[in-house]
Amino acid sequence: MISKDHFSNTLLIIMITLTTWAFWSIGEHRLDVYISMFVLEYLIIKMMLRPRRIFIDILQIGLLIIFLIFVSIRIYEVLIK
């Protein structure tokens, strides 16, 4: 039986591939949209399956910071218009 740790990695790659295909098929050409979606998928999988990590999840922290930067840029763009 596959462990939840390995299952979460498998699910992540499937979701990332499907997201890329879905956004490509609708003609999305903003890189931050793709990455933001990947970050959300990672966080959802982390919350739902709670996979183990060697030590603290630095990837989660890094992705969250990247996500916050993208959101901040979008908010800034809306405000200055």
Partner 1 sequence: MGLFTYFVLGLIPLTALWIGLLITGLSILLTPSYAPKRSREISNLMNKLFINITLFLEALRISSYNLFKTHNDEVFIYLSREEIREIPKEAEKQFITYVYGAPLIRLVSPINRDLVKDFTEPCVAIDHILTEYLDIADRVECYDEEDKIMLKIFRPLISSSFKLERSLGGLYGLIAGSVYALLRGDVEISYVETSTDFILIGMRIKK
Q: Summarize as ranges the residues that interact with partner 1 (CB under 8 A).
A: 1, 3-6, 8-9, 12-13, 16-17, 19-20, 23-24, 28-31, 34-35, 38, 42, 50-54, 57-59, 63
Name residue, tokens 């499937």. 14
Judge whether 10 and 41 are in contact, CB under 8 Å: no
CB of 68 to partner 1, least distance (A): 16
Is 29 or 81 the residue whose CB approaches partner 1 more closely?
29
E strands, the chain, in order = none
Which 3 state secondary structure label does DSSP give 28?
Answer: coil
**Helix 31-49 vs helix 4-25: angle between axes, to the nearest 10 degrees?**
150
Is 54 or 79 the residue whose CB approaches partner 1 more closely?
54
Judge whether 39 and 69 are in contact, CB under 8 Å: no
Is 54 or 78 the residue whose CB approaches partner 1 more closely?
54
CB of 13 to partner 1, least distance (A): 5
